[in-house]
Chain A
Amino acid sequence: MAKAKAGTDILYELIGQARSYSDAIILGRGDPDFDTPVHIREAAVEAMNKNSNDYSPTEGILPLRKAIAKRIKDINKIDYDPETEVVFTNGGQEALFLMVITVLSEGDEIIVPEPNYNTYNDAIAFARGVKVEIPTYAKENFRVSPEKVRAAITPKTKALLLVSPNNPTASVISMEDMKEFAKIAEEHDLIVISDDIYDLFVYDEIKHVSAAFIPGMKKRTLTLNALSKAYSMTGWRAGWIVGPADLMARVKDIKAAVSGPGSIIAQYAALAALTGSMDEVWKMRDTYIARRKIVLETIERMGLEYGFPQGGQFVYADITKTGMGSVELAKKILDEQHVLVYPGASFSKDLGDFIRMTFLQPEEKLREGLRRMQDTMANVIDGNK
Chain B
Amino acid sequence: MKGMSTKEKVIQSLKENKLLQSATISAMKQSSKDFRIDQPGGQINEIMINNVKKALDDGQTHYVDVVGIGPLRSSLSDWLQKMGVKGYSPDMLIVNAGIQESRFLTVQMLGDKLGGIALPAVVHPGVRKAAGTRKLNIKTFSVDHNNGMLASISELEKTLKEGNKLLYIESPSRLTGAMYSGVEVQKIAVLLNENDGAVIWDQGLAPWVDSSDYVSIGSIPGMNSRAVLLGEAYPGIGLEAMTVAYTAAKEEWFEPMRSQKQIMSICTRTPSQFAAAAGNDSYSSRVKETLSLLKSKKEEASAFLGDVFLDGSTVNIIALKVRNPKAFMGRLSDEGFMVLDGADFGAPGILRFSVTTDNVFMEAVKIMAGSNNG
Contacts and interface: CB of A to CB of B under 8 A. Distances in A.
B100 A237 contact: no
A123 B64 contact: no
A244 B8 CA distance: 12
Contacts of B11: 246-247, 249-250
A256 interface: yes
A286 interface: no
B5 A101 contact: no
B5 A257 contact: no
Contacts of A233: 61
Contact of B263 (A8, A49, A106, A261): A8
A94 B96 CA distance: 13
A41 B132 CA distance: 37
Contacts of A45: 49, 52-53, 56
Given A123-B263, A232-B61, A53 B238 contact: yes
A189 B14 CA distance: 18
Contacts of B129: 253, 256-257
Interface in B58-93: 59-64, 66
24 contacts: A4-B260, A5-B259, A45-B52, A48-B241, A53-B28, A53-B241, A90-B265, A93-B266, A94-B264, A102-B14, A103-B10, A122-B263, A234-B62, A235-B271, A236-B269, A237-B267, A257-B130, A257-B132, A257-B133, A260-B27, A260-B100, A261-B27, A263-B97, A265-B272
Interface stretch (B18-26, B137-145, B215-223): B18-26
Contacts of A230: none
Contacts of A101: 133-134
B15 interface: yes
A9 interface: yes
Residue picked from A31, A48, A232, most chain B C-beta under 10 Å: A48
B204 interface: no
B22 to A, nearest CB: 8
Nearest to A51: B241
Interface in A117-152: 119, 122-123, 126-128
B13 interface: yes
Given A237-B97, A246-B7, A48 B272 contact: no
Contact of A259 (B59, B101, B134, B271): B101
Size band of the B side of the interface? 35 or more
A260 B25 CA distance: 9
A235 B28 contact: no
A204 interface: no
Interface stretch (A54-62, A67-75, A369-377): A54-62
B61 A234 contact: yes
B253 to A, nearest CB: 14
Contacts of A191: 6-7, 10
Nearest to B130: A257
A309 B56 CA distance: 32
A24 B49 CA distance: 32
B43 interface: yes
B241 A234 contact: no
B338 to A, nearest CB: 11
A266 interface: yes
B100 A258 contact: yes
Contacts, number: 205
B16 to A, nearest CB: 11
A361 interface: no
A173 B216 CA distance: 55
B242 interface: yes
B308 interface: no
Interface of A: 1, 4-5, 8-9, 12, 29, 31, 35-36, 41, 44-45, 48-49, 51-58, 90-91, 93-94, 97, 101-103, 105-106, 119, 122-123, 126-128, 158, 189-191, 219-220, 232-237, 244, 246-247, 249-250, 253-254, 256-266, 269
B322 to A, nearest CB: 26
B266 A91 contact: yes
A241 to B, nearest CB: 14
A280 to B, nearest CB: 13
Contacts of B30: 55
Contacts of B52: 44-45, 48
B104 A257 contact: yes
Residue picked from B49, B53, B64, B269, most chain A C-beta under 10 Å: B269
Given A126-B134, A258-B264, A235 B63 contact: yes
Nearest to A244: B7
A127 B14 CA distance: 13
A191 to B, nearest CB: 6
B28 A56 contact: yes
B2 interface: no
A12 B262 contact: yes
B27 A258 contact: no
Nearest to A190: B6
B6 A258 contact: no
B269 A90 contact: yes
Contacts of A123: 263
Interface string B94-119: 00011111001000000010000000
